Structure 1
Amino acid sequence: MKDMRPAGRMWHLYKMGGITPAITSMFDVQSAQQMAFIRSIMKEQRKNALYEISLETVELVVFDLETTGFSPYNGDEIISFGAVAVDGDIIRKDQTFYSLVNPKRPIPDQVVKLTGITDDMAGKADDLMAGLRGFLEFARQKVLVAHGTGHDKHFLNSALWRTSKVNLSHRMLDTMMIAKWLHPRLKQYDLDTLLNWYGIEIAGRHHALEDAVMTAKLWQHLMREFRERGIHTLGDLYAQLSHHQ
């Protein structure tokens, strides 16, 4: 007779079908469906070979996260996702994504002042898994672009592992790293400095979607400089960046 208590049921499902059904058995139906979707996106992403894709036609998602702090491994949480689709250097203003996330913990006062996101606003939002699924459903297998990707990648990896036991497998481009390669003599490479450098209007800073749109406009300027330097494919760009890390 099979042991159908939670631990026994999980072991039985693991033997029958692997880790995914075993893990999802521990969650409710909706969470299990969301987890399965997230895992499938990561699996498909690992199959993609993108290096020969032209920068003129590459499909990108430029994104930004707002968080309660700087360390997802010490209790800080994502409180909003913002993203906009970009094809080559064309910003698809009709294709955007924005979602608040309930961090299930108080938002520090300084973060409330910076982002305008209050405990009341976040408390009415979906949980992390739902927000993450929405973001990944928008991004699909596209290349992700952000400014200072280290912060965002840490939070995404933490969120993916906690909700679905997978790691981020998307290709990512960092506009900060690209700017350091293109303009090595600049003293600072924060988003405000670069927006000013390229004459891009600054509005709505520290709102995830607004920051994503401004970063997309920064990407447009960087694309013009790629052309001038004979950088035509993702492979060309990654090769250049690999020498300037």
Structure 2
Amino acid sequence: MLIRVVDLETTGFEPPAGVCEIGFCDLVRDADGWRVGQPDNLLVDPGCPIPPETSAVHHITDADVVGAPTFAEAVRSALFEEAWLQAPHVVLVAHNARFERQWLTREVTGEAHWICTYKAALRIWPEAPAHNNGALRYWLNPAGLEREIAQPAHRAGPDAYVTAFLLRELLARTTLDDLVLISAQPALQVRCAFGKHRGTLWSEVPFDYLMWCARQDMDEDVAFTVKTEIRRRTEAA
């Protein structure tokens, strides 16, 4: 089995924005348990100018990607090398995989399973102060993570490296199969992010407000969270 963490840096939040960097890092199981490999990354020609506001996040500029491979070429190098082709099963991993999967579609990745470490962290560590990649890294402080390799933040290689350590910590608490199942569902949010109960734990939101939310046209994560919380309280009554 090949477990490969991937991270994309892009020119915007969704296609037709282009990818300007692909990072990847494998998680390998040996006699001592799960081991995080060395990250790698490829700059990519996004096929469009990189806006200054996105360069301000990842610091990749148009000059950096001159002569870089296209996305299709980079994906072949990052994903479809010998280890991928020889693996009987492939699991791709990303933190907030919904973002990466806008470009790494089924047409690109084939039948590979996906794990979203963001969705999994919400389930496994609801008490975490935040569930973004960086906050979880410093909250968990995983053994063996080398600060020099994890820098700079918001670059594809270092971010994939950090996410690989988050995955290793998740696998110390649950199974790979459970992580795949969790990742296939909407995100189970911890706190309400809107309205008069913004910032309140969903477990403490009044029941009448939950019922009101259930009647609204909410995004799938909120709808799933509300439905789950209503069911939990109903079954506990």
Structure 1 and Structure 2 fold alike (TM over 0.5): yes
After superposition, the C-alpha distances for 1:72-103 in whole angstroms (9 at most, x for unaligned) are 1xx2011110101111321122xx43211111
Cα distance in structure 1, aligned partners of 2:138 and 2:124 = 16
Q: Which residue of 2 aligns with 1:87?
A: 28
The answer as to whether partners of 1:60 and 1:145 remain within 8 angstroms in 2 is: yes
The answer as to whether partners of 2:115 and 2:179 remain within 8 angstroms in 1 is: no
Aligned mate of 2:11, from 68, 75, 83: 68
The alpha-carbon distance between structure 1 residues 205 and 86, as it changes in their structure 2 partners (threshold 3 A), is same
Q: Which residue of 1 aligns with 2:156?
A: 208
Q: Which residue of 2 aligns with 1:222?
A: 170
Structure 2 residues without counterparts, runs of 5 or longer: 188-237
Higher normalized helix content (fraction of residues): 1
The alpha-carbon distance between structure 1 residues 110 and 243, as it changes in their structure 2 partners (threshold 3 A), is closer
The answer as to whether partners of 1:68 and 1:111 remain within 8 angstroms in 2 is: yes
Q: Which residue of 1 aligns with 2:42?
A: 99
After superposition, the C-alpha distances for 1:123-143 in whole angstroms (9 at most, x for unaligned) are 220112211211222472521
Q: Secondary structure at the match of 1:130?
A: helix
Q: Which residue of 1 aligns with 2:117?
A: 175
Cα distance in structure 1, aligned partners of 2:21 and 2:137 = 22
The answer as to whether partners of 2:7 and 2:23 remain within 8 angstroms in 1 is: yes
Structure 1 residues without counterparts, runs of 5 or longer: 1-57
Q: Which residue of 2 aligns with 1:122?
A: 65
After superposition, the C-alpha distances for 1:23-75 in whole angstroms (9 at most, x for unaligned) are xxxxxxxxxxxxxxxxxxxxxxxxxxxxxxxxxxx531011000001111xx2
After superposition, the C-alpha distances for 1:104-162 in whole angstroms (9 at most, x for unaligned) are 211011221221211011122011221121122247252111100000001212xx75x
- 1:242 is displaced (CA, Å) by 6.2
Cα distance in structure 2, aligned partners of 1:199 and 1:185 = 15
Cα distance in structure 2, aligned partners of 1:216 and 1:183 = 16
The answer as to whether partners of 2:113 and 2:180 remain within 8 angstroms in 1 is: no
The answer as to whether partners of 1:104 and 1:123 remain within 8 angstroms in 2 is: no
Cα distance in structure 2, aligned partners of 1:244 and 1:127 = 32
Cα distance in structure 1, aligned partners of 2:121 and 2:137 = 11
What is the 5 A alignment of 1:1-245? Answer: 58-72=1-15, 75-88=16-29, 89-93=34-38, 96-138=39-81, 140=84, 141-157=89-105, 168-186=110-128, 188-200=130-142, 201=147, 203-226=151-174, 231=175, 234-239=176-181, 245=187
In the alignment of these two chains, the number of paired residues is 172
Report percent identity of matched pairs.
27
What TM-score do the two structures reach when normalised by structure 2? 0.65
Q: Secondary structure at the match of 1:156?
A: coil
Cα distance in structure 2, aligned partners of 1:123 and 1:92 = 29
The aligned amino acid for 1:212 is A
